[in-house]
Amino acid sequence: MLKERGDESPLFYCTKIMVSKERVIALIEERFQDLNTDLYLVELAISAKNVIRVEIDKIDGSVSVEECVSISRNIEHNLDREQEDFELHVSSAGLDKPFRHINQYKKNIGRTVQVKLNESGKIEGRLDGVTEKEIKLIRSEKRRIQGRKKKEVIDEEFHFSFDEIKETKIVVSFK
């Protein structure tokens, strides 16, 4: 907007409106309903400069490029760039990032994960179960049993509440 004051040179006033997080969530949820899939929102971040980062995942399978594009277009077409200048990034949750939603735990039952604990280091094992309050992890180790010649695989079961967990990541293996 251009505003002139007396005979001084023109001054430019830039009024940037912050994008509403609630509005973006509503647009994402609207598209989830339209696509009729098991997509869910993992994370939404909007910076002070209106950089919108949307991270999505799917309960079964992986997120397609078409699904990301569809969500991106729905947000893009329903926000007014003239009032809310923004930058938009829509992506799927990456394998290299820690879990941030309980559905990511449920989706990866049976996979090997590394759990970093708030207090006592980290542990690697097979994610065996998830409830609203905790996860169950099975760690398998070969150990020599007294009186036996060969090592045997011993399974140890661990339960960790979400309060104890700093982060959980999938262990990517190329075996």
What's residue 74's pLDDT?
Answer: 95
Strands 87-92 and 165-170: unpaired
CATH no. for 21-92:
3.30.300.20
Q: How far is CA 110 from the centre of its chain?
A: 19
**Residues near 110 by beta carbon (within 8 Å), at least 6 away in sequence:** 126, 127, 128
Fold of 102-170: SH3 type barrels. (2.30.30)
Q: How far is CA 147 from the centre of its chain?
A: 48
- Residues 111 and 132: their CA atoms lie apart, in Å, by 19
DSSP label of 146? T
3-class SS of residue 17? coil
- 31 Ramachandran zone, left/alpha/beta (phi>0; psi -120 to 50): alpha
Q: What is the pTM of this model?
A: 0.78
CB 130 within 8 A of CB 105: yes
What's residue 12's pLDDT?
Answer: 46
**Structural domain boundaries in the chain:** 21-92, 102-170
Q: How far is CA 32 from the centre of its chain?
A: 16
Residue pLDDT tens, the chain, 175 long: 444 444 444 444 455 678 889 999 999 999 999 988 899 999 999 999 999 999 999 998 889 999 999 999 999 999 988 887 899 999 999 888 999 999 999 999 999 999 999 988 999 999 999 999 999 999 998 887 787 778 888 899 999 999 999 999 999 887 7
3-class SS of residue 38? coil
- Residues 105 and 156: their CA atoms lie apart, in Å, by 19
What's residue 71's pLDDT?
Answer: 96
Report the candidate in 130, 131, 126 with the shortest Cα–Cα distance to residue 141.
Answer: 126
- Residues 41 and 48: their CA atoms lie apart, in Å, by 21
H-helix segments, 56-175? 65-78, 102-107
